[in-house]
Structure 1
């Protein structure tokens, strides 16, 4: 054991204690406002659950696709094709228009929520905030990458203040140990609890107050820590950036124009995440979008009222149920990460991928180590595999929410006195069911490809990094030419991949089961 390892362990223990304390604090705060409620307050013809035969067919397709991919793919396929080029001036004008329009919508939410009609169906604040803003922008991110850095009203306000000041405003540096904790806490409070478990989405004034408070806190954080606060403290920026990793379309500035390209959706999902809290954020995304659908079902209502009666507790038990499920998802992910980490080490040993072990050991000693880092820390594995779950979250996000967003878009004209529209008038209910299954299974397939890329990369690598909360390099890195020359046999890749595949099949099957549940009236 190296001399510097013991203090590092104390640091990790301290970080774990702080993490537990913050989680308890968030739980206590959000429990005070919890009430049972369905987030999707307006019904539509798409609320009918998918038939069981489609559920079983989708689960079978997920398993079959996984088996075929793992058996047939020798290396991760890549795809990058240019579709169209947009002049940079046109792109800038479009971005400026979009930013101005969204800022006006933000102001409209505040005004309408506080001074508009009290009925949720007649108020712009409730119609826009929880569907077109929260869910709709997420769908755009899944398709074409996150637009939030352009749309963000808090960035608009901050940039205006910086122009007035003549420089970037920042009173101090962002704490390195804080990671993405602010964004994760806000995700649990706003998306996990406020949207799914309270009456806030049905109350225009409450919606406006929530948006105003969040805007003030986020702007204050930016004035204190600078633009880095948006990246790590803004829940919308973190959420949409993560969903944008799965986008099959991308826009890249090149030679005075923006190139719109088609790319492999697993490309960015196989890259390591930057902090452990961002990994927890990804797991929370997968869990919360599933819980969102489950919370609308009669089964959840029966569970909720059953627990209340059994323990004689109040409505805040809904938060306990939400957090218990979140803890279960996090625990399952951590157990799988540990299993994959150990199997990867076994596979490297058995396959001879570490043929240059003596050279790697010499390199490690030259770097000040003692060669004992052959066992990668679980934190490194968690960062490496965290992004591979994003396609599952994105697939279910689209399957669960695109009909909901379209319904709310169709209701916006009623605010101006026009009739409601149905943007999906052409889509039959059976076709909608099939599309839900296809989106979920497609997300699973992309996730398997991304995970396979990570496993293959790690089988010919050695771990590095110190597990620091802020470090983006705490993941496996190449161990030398000898390791790269000897690719491990496919059977060892399958072995190392097995626990993660099992987890992904479980998540996918659970998502399919949730969309098969009826919606509570």
Structure 2
């Protein structure tokens, strides 16, 4: 058997991992953003990405994928609830690595395939047919927007990053059981809209899927993903969802630093710091997106929602920078552990290529952070050409550019934190 996976030992390595000086990395990243903005300002003067969404209906849920989703869920949850009662339970890694971290590359490669795989949607569909209430019993309140998903995402990252029981099987079992019950009841009562707006994993997948280059509206359709990104639905809580994703990843790096560890933080202090990271991300973006002239009060109020999609590439870049080795190496260990629970995989071994080549890993980390920000600058510039008055199209972007540079400084600083 493989030794227990050390769940807390993930994330971004310290300064010793990086083959380039901190100052060079920061200056290079800042120049990349500044040059990108300058080139866009002179060469990209009309919106190119704001096209109507294809008038093609999404395909119905594919039964074979729904069946695969049910099998995988039964396997993961069966391992979690019936497996060992210690940290060696592979069900823990299946939740933290294969589901949470693996969701991002899955959505980038296959689009919002989570919608097909979701066992909770399958249960809701079955109950809907039996009760003849396919859309649920109560209409989903529009004012709720994405707020249930934001709360659910915060609950999960709190469990993973702050809770003293993050590696405790009983604690994770309790959290997962509560999530399953709430998700099934929410879907049955409120219908499929609950999953589109309230299920944290479903919503997260749908956001990242906007950047899938090969799949659009759950159909194979190679295209420029920056064209589908602006069609991210604008609803209440949108900025908060993205702030939780981005802020929690930044907090994860910070919490592993010696600066924070020396304080020997309590659970309450860690919770407060996690909230602070998420709040700073949300507040800074809210202020930067509204920092323009020439618009009415109503138009200014709408700007954070209209530009929120530009943060999705940064979220994806940070997730890969932060969790790359955790996904590829911890993911192998998780799969082998799951196979061993059913009598397979004893002859499989884990490749630790990235850990054995820290210079390669470090370069990838910096590249992912910078690439995410450059793509975000492109998306932000294009939407600015649409929503800002002509006289403020460039000056209205300066605050957002400063914010992007600040995010980059912060992200790379956390890559170097020890």
C-alpha distance in structure 2 between counterparts of 1:79 and 1:190, whole Å: 34
Q: Which residue pairs with 2:304 in the alignment?
A: 382
Secondary structure of 2:139's aligned partner: coil
Q: Which residue pairs with 2:252 in the alignment?
A: 292
TM-score by length of 2: 0.85
Secondary structure of 2:350's aligned partner: coil
Closer, same or farther in 2 for the Cα pair 1:292/1:497, shift >3 Å? same
Secondary structure of 1:408's aligned partner: helix
1:452-489 Cα distance to aligned partner (Å, 9 max, x none): 111111235xxxxxxxxxxxxxxxxxxxxxxxxxxx36
Check the 8 A contact 1:144/1:249 in 2, yes or no: yes
Question: Structure 1 stretch 106-115 or stretch 228-237: which is displaced more?
Answer: 106-115
1:437 to 345, 361, 366: 366
1:81-131 Cα distance to aligned partner (Å, 9 max, x none): xxxxxxx9xx999x54443333223223333223312332x3221121100
Q: Which residue pairs with 1:413 in the alignment?
A: 336
1:204 aligned onto 2:169? yes
Q: Cα offset for 1:446?
A: 1.2
What are the residue-to-residue correspondences of 1:127-276 with 2, within 5 Å? 127-168=93-134, 170-191=136-157, 193-251=158-216, 258-263=219-224, 265-271=225-231, 273-276=233-236
C-alpha distance in structure 2 between counterparts of 1:198 and 1:426, whole Å: 27
Question: Structure 1 stretch 42-51 or stretch 499-508: which is displaced more?
Answer: 42-51
| C-alpha RMSD of the superposition | 3.0
2:238 to 257, 278, 282: 278
Secondary structure of 1:248's aligned partner: coil
Check the 8 A contact 2:140/2:190 in 1, yes or no: yes
Closer, same or farther in 2 for the Cα pair 1:45/1:385, shift >3 Å? closer
Secondary structure of 2:223's aligned partner: strand
Closer, same or farther in 2 for the Cα pair 1:184/1:259, shift >3 Å? closer
What are the residue-to-residue correspondences of 1:48-63 with 2, within 5 Å? 49-50=17-18, 51=20, 52=22, 53-63=24-34
Secondary structure of 1:513's aligned partner: helix
Check the 8 A contact 1:137/1:147 in 2, yes or no: no
Check the 8 A contact 2:187/2:195 in 1, yes or no: yes
1:71-90 Cα distance to aligned partner (Å, 9 max, x none): 3322345599xxxxxxx9xx
Q: Which residue pairs with 1:517 in the alignment?
A: 417
Q: Cα offset for 1:43?
A: 5.8
Q: Which residue pairs with 2:54 in the alignment?
A: none
C-alpha distance in structure 2 between counterparts of 1:175 and 1:410, whole Å: 41
C-alpha distance in structure 2 between counterparts of 1:386 and 1:138, whole Å: 18
Closer, same or farther in 2 for the Cα pair 1:144/1:76, shift >3 Å? farther
TM-score by length of 1: 0.69
Check the 8 A contact 1:113/1:125 in 2, yes or no: yes
C-alpha distance in structure 2 between counterparts of 1:299 and 1:446, whole Å: 31
Secondary structure of 1:332's aligned partner: helix
Q: Which residue pairs with 2:39 in the alignment?
A: 68
C-alpha distance in structure 1 between counterparts of 2:352 and 2:117, whole Å: 24
Q: Cα offset for 1:344?
A: 4.4
2:82 to 115, 118, 123: 115
> Which of structures 1 and 2 has the bigger CA Rg?
1
C-alpha distance in structure 1 between counterparts of 2:146 and 2:385, whole Å: 28
1:315 to 261, 267, 281: 267
Check the 8 A contact 2:214/2:220 in 1, yes or no: no
C-alpha distance in structure 1 between counterparts of 2:315 and 2:10, whole Å: 23
Closer, same or farther in 2 for the Cα pair 1:276/1:176, shift >3 Å? closer
Secondary structure of 1:294's aligned partner: helix
C-alpha distance in structure 1 between counterparts of 2:151 and 2:78, whole Å: 27
Instruction: List runs of 5+ in structure 1 lacking aligned partners.
Output: 1-37, 81-87, 309-313, 346-373, 461-487
What are the residue-to-residue correspondences of 1:4-153 with 2, within 5 Å? 40-42=7-9, 49-50=17-18, 51=20, 52=22, 53-77=24-48, 95-120=62-87, 122-153=88-119
C-alpha distance in structure 2 between counterparts of 1:280 and 1:45, whole Å: 24
Q: Cα offset for 1:266?
A: 2.4
Instruction: List runs of 5+ in structure 2 lacking aligned partners.
Output: 52-57
